[in-house]
Amino acid sequence: MSQQETNPWVIITVIKEDVNPKDIQNIAPQIQSLVDEWQAQGKLMWSGAFSDNLTGMAVFEATKSEADEFFKKYDSICTGLLNYSMYSWDAMPLLSVLSH
């Protein structure tokens, strides 16, 4: 059985202009739970907000199928409240180097 190659992925998120801040507070625990679930599997994820307090970024390493599965769960939490996109990041696989 061949193992899929892992790559760095990034999710960029921006809070929509017309969103009630309470709605963001309501989904925050779900997003945190998703990240906790990811990290409980021994996988590393770096995430945080930018200084504009509207934009955030998460960087993680995964196979394409793992990244797609994570993004599908993220999408189910954030639909309608946030604008977000996931990209394959063609950078040095920094997370795998740091995790060793």
Residue 2 within any structural domain of the chain: no
pLDDT in tens, 12-29: 999 999 999 999 999 999
In terms of pLDDT, which residue wins out, 88 or 4?
88
Residue 80 within any structural domain of the chain: yes
Rounded distance between C-alpha atoms, residue 42 and residue 53, angstroms: 29
Residue 63 within any structural domain of the chain: yes
Q: Any idea what the CATH number is for the domain that residue 27 is in?
A: 3.30.70.1060
**pTM of the prediction?**
0.84
At residue 94, the pLDDT reads 54
Residue 35 within any structural domain of the chain: yes
Report CA dihedral (54, 68, 28, 83) to the nearest 10 degrees.
Answer: 30
Residue 78 within any structural domain of the chain: yes
Model confidence band, residue 1 (pLDDT cutoffs 50, 70, 90): very low
Count of domains forming the chain:
1
Residue 1 within any structural domain of the chain: no
Rounded distance between C-alpha atoms, residue 47 and residue 69, angstroms: 18
Task: Domain of residue 65: give its range.
Answer: 7-98
Backbone angles phi, psi at 24, to 5 degrees: -65, -40
